[in-house]
Amino acid sequence: KAYNDQYGHLKGDELITGIGRIITRHIREKVDSGFRYGGDEFTATLPGANLKQSCQIAERIRQSMEEAESKKITLSIGLAEYDFKVGVNIFVKMADDAMYIAKRSGGNRIHLMTNNA
């Protein structure tokens, strides 16, 4: 909202498109999926990637966005590892909670949420 207010909705749309491109550039083609989740939130699924690999991918996305926008826009990224025992709803909530923790911790960071956290 603040970006749209300052730069206009067309620039805001360009920013959203640019974020999508950055995510697509850093995930594996025909393996991972990246998409807009709603508003200014995006999701990437990384099947088969372990936590270390997922953190590396998230950091590359975060860093690329920071560089592309000259620090005007930063990303707060929440990571969660899927566990068949907890199911999809808990998994999505864990990722969402992790993202909000990253935001409340100052933004421009990644927070990992595990079943043990």
- Residue 37's pLDDT is 87
- Residue 116's pLDDT is 66
Q: Which residue has the tokens 């595990």?
A: 114
pLDDT digits (tens, 9 = 90+) for 90-103: 999 999 999 999 99
Residue 68 has pLDDT above 60, yes or no: yes
Catalytic residue among 40, 83, 96, 97: 40
Which structure tokens are listed for 114?
A: 């595990």
pLDDT digits (tens, 9 = 90+) for 21-66: 999 999 999 999 999 988 889 999 999 999 999 999 999 999 999 8
Q: Which residue has the tokens 């749209």?
A: 4
Residues in CB range of 69: below 8 A, 6 or more apart:
15
Is residue 13 annotated as part of the catalytic site, yes or no? no
